[in-house]
């Protein structure tokens, strides 16, 4: 089917937009920590089902210890810690700005690969990094609803720092995942291992801090939050991951990755209509500039 990969990538971007919206709504009801704990369990369920449907087993078989180590490390850093920070950013600054900050992941990954994997940065990559950072900064320093320029004290720096921390965690997780996925190992199997490792780490901390009962009590007291977490988990690990794999298989990785990076664009109307955010033309322009930088990095970098 013509354009199958591009359409799958576009579907992935839409799914990520739904996911961030659902998790934001749930996080504002029960807190980001509860959302992260429960969505990991649901994610394992959905991913296991996908693994069975596509690969014939509920869980990867005969995985080398070294691969287990890198994928588990990737899961703990990227999914336990990184996503915990991202979900708190959802609560504090909303999904639109949070996902825009997550567009820095390719930039941070490129810089980390330069530092730790000794990958050389080309002039075009440096230009892409600069363009992306300028675009993100332009949106963050957007004008306030009163029409004046925001001062540093008016910005929600806590939320922005959580978002940057989430992007850093995701980028570090990707570096570790790259080592764990070396060879022809299935990305879906790798994702499932990462998710199980992340859930194990997070729930061990939850049990050790005696927050297990509190987690389920909060969830039971707000049934609507579970519906939102369920929706976010379905559109993320299940449908989003499956479509992203289809996209990568059916078209060039750079093209697929660039289309998949579109959620900040889709979240502009969501921020306005669902969360009542003021979305200025400057915010739109900065978002487009940031994504242009990502596109340069992924397509030609």
pLDDT for residue 119 = 76
Q: Name the percent of the chain lying above pLDDT 70.
A: 94
What does the pLDDT average to over 170-188? 85
Which residues lie below 8 Å from residue 60, measured CB to CB, with a gap of 6+? 51, 186, 189, 190, 192, 193
Question: Would you put residue 94 in left (φ > 0), alpha (ψ -120 to 50) or beta?
Answer: left
Contact assessment for residue 160 and residue 217, using Cβ atoms and an 8 Å cutoff: no
Residue 258 has pLDDT above 70, yes or no: yes
Tokens of 221: 């007291």
- Report how far residue 117's alpha carbon sits from residue 160's, in angstroms, rounded to the nearest whole number: 28
Name, of 100-104, 184-188, 197-201, the range with top average pLDDT: 197-201
Residue 151 has pLDDT above 50, yes or no: no
* pTM confidence score: 0.86
pLDDT bucket at 1, cuts 50 / 70 / 90 = low
Concatenated DSSP letters for 135-166?
HHHHHHTPBPTTSSBPPTTTS-HHHHHHHHHH
Q: For the segment 84-96, what is each residue's pLDDT rounded down to a tens digit?
A: 999 999 999 999 9
Contact assessment for residue 58 and residue 51, using Cβ atoms and an 8 Å cutoff: yes
Concatenated DSSP letters for 256-297?
HHHHHT-HHHHHHHHHHHTS-----HHHHHHHHHHHHHHHHH
What does the pLDDT average to over 261-281? 87
- Average pLDDT of the chain is 87
- Report how far residue 167's alpha carbon sits from residue 177's, in angstroms, rounded to the nearest whole number: 15
Residue 146 has pLDDT above 60, yes or no: no
Residue 173 CB-half CA count within 13 A? 25
- Report how far residue 140's alpha carbon sits from residue 223's, in angstroms, rounded to the nearest whole number: 34
Between 153 and 51, the higher pLDDT residue:
51
Residue identified by tokens 């900064």 is 137
What does the pLDDT average to over 13-37? 94
DSSP secondary structure letter of residue 237: I
pLDDT for residue 15 = 94
For the chain, what is the radius of gyration of the CA atoms? 19
What does the pLDDT average to over 250-271? 84
Contact assessment for residue 60 and residue 189, using Cβ atoms and an 8 Å cutoff: yes
- Report how far residue 8's alpha carbon sits from residue 247's, in angstroms, rounded to the nearest whole number: 5
Tokens of 192: 């499932």
Contact assessment for residue 46 and residue 233, using Cβ atoms and an 8 Å cutoff: yes
């Amino acid at each position: 089917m013509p354009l199958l990969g591009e359409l799958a990538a576009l579907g992935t971007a839409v799914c990520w937009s739904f996911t961030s919206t659902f998790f934001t709504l749930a996080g504002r009801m029960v807190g980001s920590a509860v959302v992260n704990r429960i969505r990991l369990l649901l994610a394992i369920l959905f991913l296991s089902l996908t693994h069975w449907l596509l690969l014939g087993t509920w869980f990867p078989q005969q995985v080398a210890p070294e691969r287990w180590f890198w994928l588990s490390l990737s899961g703990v850093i990227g999914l336990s810690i990184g996503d915990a920070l991202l979900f708190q950013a959802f609560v504090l600054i909303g999904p639109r700005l949070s996902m825009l900050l997550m567009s820095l992941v390719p930039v941070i990954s490129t810089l980390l690969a330069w530092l730790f994997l000794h990958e050389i940065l080309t002039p075009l990559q440096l230009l892409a990094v600069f363009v992306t950072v300028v675009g993100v900064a332009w949106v963050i320093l957007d004008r306030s609803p009163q029409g004046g320029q925001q001062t540093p004290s008016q910005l929600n720096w806590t939320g922005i720092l959580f978002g940057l921390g989430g992007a850093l965690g995701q980028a570090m997780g990707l570096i570790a995942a790259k080592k764990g996925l070396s060879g022809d190992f299935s990305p879906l199997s790798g994702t499932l291992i990462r998710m199980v490792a992340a859930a194990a780490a997070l729930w061990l901390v939850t049990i050790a801090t005696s927050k297990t009962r509190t987690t389920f009590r909060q969830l039971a007291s707000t049934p609507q939050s579970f519906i939102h977490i369920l929706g976010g988990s379905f559109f993320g690990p299940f449908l989003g991951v499956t479509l992203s794999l289809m996209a990568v298989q059916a078209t060039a990785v750079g093209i697929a990755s660039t289309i998949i990076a579109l959620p900040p664009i889709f979240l502009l109307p969501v921020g306005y209509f669902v969360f009542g955010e003021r979305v200025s033309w400057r915010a739109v322009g900065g978002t487009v500039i940031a994504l242009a930088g990502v596109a340069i990095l992924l397509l030609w970098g």
